[in-house]
Amino acid sequence: MKSLAAQKDETLNSDLIIHELRPFGIRKDRAWVNGELAYLKEMAAVKLFEAGSVQVATLTALGHRHVLREVEIEGVQRPSRPEG
């Protein structure tokens, strides 16, 4: 969700999310990412729509508040504290 929050429009597609996860040692396929996105949608953290073969996720207000550590979404790891 941090990667979504970092985008100007708070939106990424599932293929771009795969690339965002690689520096963290997470090497999963599109099906896994889509499953995680479906859970985030169920928890009202993102909105999803299909664009061809990819899912496009946009952060919701609740998802943004989670990234800011204002709320905690069940089953979603809390973001690390900002450095400083």
Instruction: Give this prediction's pTM.
Output: 0.90
pLDDT in tens, 53-81: 899 999 999 999 999 999 999 999 988 88
Q: Where are the domains of the chain?
A: 2-67
> Whose structure tokens read 């949608």?
41
Round to whole Å and give the CA distance between 80 and 69: 9
User: Is residue 63 helix, strand or coil?
Assistant: helix
Hey, how many other C-beta atoms are within 10 angstroms of the C-beta on 55? 22
pLDDT recorded at residue 83: 75
Q: What's the CA gap between 74 and 84, in Å, rounded? A: 27
**Nearest Cα to 1, choosing from 84, 70, 83?**
70
CATH of domain 2-67: 1.10.10.10
In what helix (H) or strand (E) does residue 54 lie, and over which residues does it extend?
A: strand 54-59
Tens digit of pLDDT for each residue in 27-54? Answer: 999 999 999 999 999 999 999 999 998 9
